[in-house]
Structure 1
């Protein structure tokens, strides 16, 4: 039943008609509970509030699968402006981005030039940029770009998904780059020849790569709402004398709020992933696919006055 529910929401995430309707009626369907605002300026007061609670942030201008060079350049300039705002307002925040929003599916030199422009501004403003991982057809290109950028910039990270078979080898290949990695389970619909289909296998592989990256001595972000995964990380770090400044927990804005604050009180670093923009539909559907219990959360947003 859970697998059917996941496939259903992943199918909906690619529905262009519903995407157009969502942009029009977004606030009615719970978007305001998981998105910081339609513009970054709207999100600034919320970021400051979360910072005051001891939470770190990473912000993401929603949008992906851009097939227009003009739009890709617009998204890149939007990211640069966001970095400037973070610096100007002294916000405790990183920036996350998707390469498909910057032209990955159009031309290599386009996405590369956009990333260099973004990274130069991020370096000047001392802001960390994390490259989100997308579906498996784009994994190799994403990691190739990350490795090239890592040779030029220290303030860049990327994401590794535990449901892919290739993940263990990717961790090994990245080891020499002193990577900053966000480790996640994965949220795209993938064929069984490239990804684990059973949840226990995905969970076990996530634990495996958490251990591997931490023991390699690299800074690690554990992006999970799963109490078992959080407890596993705490225990493993304690048993292996891994200091809390080598890792952090990451969670989505609007989900597990109390858990986030409890971890901060325990002395752990917690980063909240805060998206903004009106292109929220695909993101929201993938969150429902990851955790079908979030359906109740979404319905609450529909009828909330």
Structure 2
């Protein structure tokens, strides 16, 4: 029997369900909890608010799995406009951007990896020009090698380009060791994709244990670990490891999603932890929204209660 997570992730790829969910007025209020609006102006307003509260941010212009070349160019242009919008705020590295290579054509046949690199390179250049950087989000396991190849190319000229690793994948501990080098920024997450047992741990306990191992590798290395988790146990573990390794507060950070555990984000920041909120925005929010529902039963219950209360 398919799990709740598998069902929701499958639903994220069904056009008829996309139309149903996005066309339901009650959905909008729930989406606003997780997405910082559909426009750049809305996203920048959230950036100003969060940074004013002592948080850093990473901005994601939503749109993934692009199969149309014209859309890949629009993705590039959206990120360039985003960075142009960030420039006057003079936030430097406190406001970076996150990008999924599937939005830049990675999945297109006949050279998708090369196309993605060609289109994301000017985004990395624009980020460097205003004193910030790009982090390459990781997607399904089949894209890992392609994404790491693009990362290696970008880091030739932009060494601060960030990577993302998913603890659920069997290969991640080895990848973490390879990326734990001076100046390397690596966000470790549990993983939001439905992967088979041949490549990924399946139980929560196994994923948590794999996360702890990968986190230890990154914390002991000379890079900049980014702890992508809302799990109190893992955040506490990260703080202990940072203390054990004598890390300064600016040598690692916690990253949490916009709209999830917001009070905890502010509490940690007030205690001196560098906290960065992952802030998505844009009209193509459906796939992101469905992954948030799949990740935590509480998110799905919140969504269903909202639908009932408005009908």
- Structure 2 length as normaliser, TM-score? 0.92
Closer, same or farther: CA 304–231 of 1 in aligned 2, 3 Å? farther
User: What secondary structure, in the 3-state scheme, does the structure 1 residue paired with 2:162 have?
Assistant: strand
The answer to which of 55-64 and 18-27 deviates more is: 18-27
Per-residue CA deviation, residues 233-264 of structure 1 (Å, 9 max, x unaligned), is 11222223222211111111111011001101
Partner residue in 2 for 1:51: 51
The answer to which of 51-60 and 120-129 deviates more is: 120-129
Contact 1:66 1:72 survives alignment (8 Å): yes
Structure 2 matches for 1:189-208, cutoff 5 A?
A: 189-208=194-213
| 1:180 paired residue among 164, 181, 185 | 185
Q: Which has the higher contact order (CA 8 A, sep 6+)?
A: 1
Contact 2:4 2:294 survives alignment (8 Å): yes
Partner residue in 1 for 2:10: 11
| 2:98 paired residue among 90, 96, 99 | 96
User: What secondary structure, in the 3-state scheme, does the structure 1 residue paired with 2:116 have?
Assistant: helix
In the alignment, structure 2 segments of 5+ residues that lack a partner are none
Partner residue in 1 for 2:285: 280
- Structure 1 length as normaliser, TM-score? 0.94
Closer, same or farther: CA 158–11 of 1 in aligned 2, 3 Å? same
Closer, same or farther: CA 164–82 of 1 in aligned 2, 3 Å? same
Residue 218 of structure 1 deviates from its aligned partner by 0.9
CA distance in 1, matches of 2:180, 2:274: 23
Contact 2:101 2:116 survives alignment (8 Å): yes
Closer, same or farther: CA 36–26 of 1 in aligned 2, 3 Å? farther
| 2:271 paired residue among 263, 266, 272 | 266
Number of residues of Structure 1 aligned to a counterpart in Structure 2: 304
CA RMSD of aligned residues (A): 1.9
Partner residue in 2 for 1:144: 149
CA distance in 2, matches of 1:267, 1:128: 23
User: What secondary structure, in the 3-state scheme, does the structure 1 residue paired with 2:3 have?
Assistant: helix
